[in-house]
Chain A
Amino acid sequence: MGQLYYISTLEWNEFLKSSLPEWSLYAPVRQDKNLAFERLSENNFNSVELDSYRATQPLKSFLFFFYEQITNIKKYPNMRGSAVLGLKACDLNSLQLYDKTFLEGEFAEPFYKRRRQDLLLISSDCQKPIESCFCTVLGANPYPEEYFDINISRISAGYIVDINSEAGEEFIKSKKDFFKKVVDRSILMKREAKRRAAVETVEGFNSHFDIKAPFLNMLRQKLMSKVWNEQSKTCVTCGACTQICPTCYCFLIEDVKSDKFRYWDSCQYTGFARVAGNANPRKKVYERLRHRYLHKFDYIHESFGFDGCTGCGRCIQACQGKIDMRKVLSELKKDPVNSNA
């Protein structure tokens, strides 16, 4: 926990408006049933919803673009002066895997690295989780605990503002007098109560699934389960689950004339693992679905000690075939097969 301040909603809004000329701010804006990130302006300012639940686009879309040129780069991307607001715990938690994959190892992903250094991350507590949310199943909480520069928690007529980095400190500097140091601890009790309530809401949504991470040992017993085939029957291999997933990072490099471009790929596509002579270790839809679960909950867990899923539930909402990760996991858990070959 960094430095804690309190700011009234009125002053917070005034502060944000005053930042508009200098900063590119992106925030979740209500669009029918969903929240979508939009560049903040005077026009959409009143439709911003910072405190409900995660927006439709995953955080990766700001740091690791869907399609971009990666060779013959004259000038690297620069995101200084950009900030995303209204990020949720399940957005931020995806950075654990992204940082591991793209910043560590022999090579760093140069585009991600730049944007990750530059982009200011302003998160907030979830106060209206939705039915597809299952962060608590993954052992996480519906309020940010790390990876943010600034986190705001709504308390009646204002926010508790948690400043977690120098960049965060810098961001509020221009209106520093709006931010009052928290001295009255009772306000923190209020935040705690709201946080508890959100945890209980999410737990309530998931109580009938009877699943709890980690899943690696369970999955290793169910490699041959018929559940994979049953649950993948409605999959149309559109790849929506991976595109919308905050932790999925797979990509493909494509030559266009004398430049190379990189775009998000999906392990759910038929050709993802295909090798010369049309040999393919994952020809069947269920094999690809299984691979996705094994990658997230077994391989990543074994390598890094955490899961490749943050429980944001986007894949559940995006799936054309109504495949629900929680259902798949609970059906697997129930299936009595016990085999690993």
Chain B
Amino acid sequence: MLNPYESQDAKVEDIITETSNIKTFALKLNEKMSFLTGQFVELGIKGLSEAPFTPSSSPYETDRMEVTIMKAGCLTEKFHDLKKSSTVTIRGPYGKGYPIEQMYGKEVLITGGGVGMAPLRSFLLTLLEQRDKFKRIILCYGSKSPQDIVYKDQFADWMKNPALEIYRSVDKADSSWNETKGVVTVLLDKVKVNLKNSVAVVCGPPIMMKFATMKLINLGHKDENIYLSMEKNMSCGLGKCGHCGIGKYYVCQDGPVFTYDQIKNNQEIWD
């Protein structure tokens, strides 16, 4: 019988320092793991613990998987201490991933904050693989300061790419910053999308998700067209342990991406 609790080893092939508290880890898995963009994995350090993370690389890249991790506590701090060639554990993928096909032919408005850019990078790279299937791709990304921006090199390429519309903001600007200043919601005021034919995809810290969602609704986006990544406590990732509940849903099984319409009646979504 298959034991779903069992994970496989993965080797850390490369470590990219994104910001002072965010690093990207390139992993080489013993056995290849294919995933859908938006699905997550349980990544761990043997003898310590595991936690959920969403691959930030494209699912089309099957040789190695990248995971972008912000220092947030016990396990994530240990991850930041890892050296190249260390071994970590991985199991998954879990959850449902983004419903890409439902977005065909539409304008896709992506809103991200901080390390929330991790799943969104994977999502964006997936859209770019099939660029002609989407009417427009717009990315609004907010971070604390110019230094806190992740994927700096890649952003430079994306901003030159005519197939993408990119807007960025920082809460605290310095003299080098010539883009928008302010929280990410001010960017949403700048972009005009066809509300009849668009979807909005949001990922970031809870407070940012809350304000971005409220803003999108004010701008006329429909509840069922707003896709949110929910971060809840997780243990098993298998839809069994009960930790990740939002109302009748388990985030690990029914999410982690939900439409606002699915979860808006729950009193706990933003906490």
Contact = CB atoms under 8 A, between A and B. Distances in A.
A95 to B, nearest CB: 16
Nearest to A256: B47
Contacts of A260: 5
B48 A110 contact: no
B107 interface: no
A265 B233 CA distance: 13
Contact of B248 (A76, A299, A341): A299
B265 interface: yes
B72 A277 contact: yes
B241 interface: yes
A296 B49 CA distance: 29
Given A265-B241, A272-B243, A302-B248, A71 B236 contact: no
Contact of A70 (B2, B3, B206, B267): B3
Given A107-B4, A276-B73, A295-B245, A251 B271 contact: no
Interface residues of B, number: 37
B4 A273 contact: no
B231 interface: yes
Given A107-B239, A273-B232, A299-B247, A113 B1 contact: yes
Nearest to B42: A253
Q: How large is the interface on A (under 10, 10 to 19, 20 to 34, 35 or more residues)?
A: 35 or more
B235 A303 contact: no
Nearest to A302: B248
A299 B245 contact: yes
A238 interface: no
Interface in B1-48: 1-7, 44, 46-48
> Which of the listed residues B4, B5, B46 has the most CB atoms from chain A within 10 Å of its own CB?
B5
A272 B49 CA distance: 15
Interface string A228-269: 000000000000000000000111111111101010010100
A252 B48 CA distance: 14
Given A265-B243, A295-B245, A110 B1 contact: yes
Nearest to A273: B233
Contact of A255 (B47, B73, B271): B47
A282 B268 contact: yes
A251 B265 contact: no
A276 B4 contact: no
B76 A276 contact: yes
A183 interface: no
A258 B253 contact: no
A107 B253 CA distance: 10
Given A106-B253, A110-B4, A253-B5, A258 B46 contact: yes
> Which of the listed residues A250, A254, A265 has the most CB atoms from chain B within 10 Å of its own CB?
A250
A275 interface: yes
Interface in A294-329: 294-295, 298-300, 302-303
A148 B118 CA distance: 50
A43 interface: no
Given A255-B47, A262-B5, A282-B268, A106 B239 contact: yes
Interface string B130-174: 000000000000000000000000000000000000000000000
> Which of the listed residues A113, A273, A303, A341 has the most CB atoms from chain B within 10 Å of its own CB?
A273
A274 interface: yes
A298 B247 CA distance: 8
A303 to B, nearest CB: 5
Contact of A276 (B3, B72, B235, B247): B72
A160 B144 CA distance: 73
Nearest to B115: A276
B103 interface: no
Contact of B5 (A70, A257, A277): A70
Contacts of B243: 250, 252, 265, 272-273
Contacts of A113: 1
Interface in B46-60: 46-50
A275 B267 contact: no
Interface string B236-253: 101111110101100001
A252 B244 CA distance: 12
A303 B44 CA distance: 31
A3 interface: no
A106 B238 CA distance: 8
A255 B45 CA distance: 9
B1 A251 contact: no
Contacts of B248: 298-300, 302-303
Interface of B: 1-7, 44, 46-50, 70, 72-73, 76, 206, 231-233, 235-236, 238-243, 245, 247-248, 253, 265, 267-268, 271
6 contacts: A70-B3, A71-B5, A107-B240, A223-B267, A275-B231, A276-B76
Interface of A: 70-71, 73, 76, 101-102, 105-110, 113-114, 223, 249-258, 260, 262, 265, 267, 272-277, 279-282, 294-295, 298-300, 302-303, 340-341
State the 3 A-B residue pairs at the shortest beta-carbon distance, nearest first. Answer: A250-B242, A281-B271, A276-B72
Given A101-B240, A108-B4, A281-B271, 4 more contacts: A110-B3, A250-B243, A251-B235, A299-B245
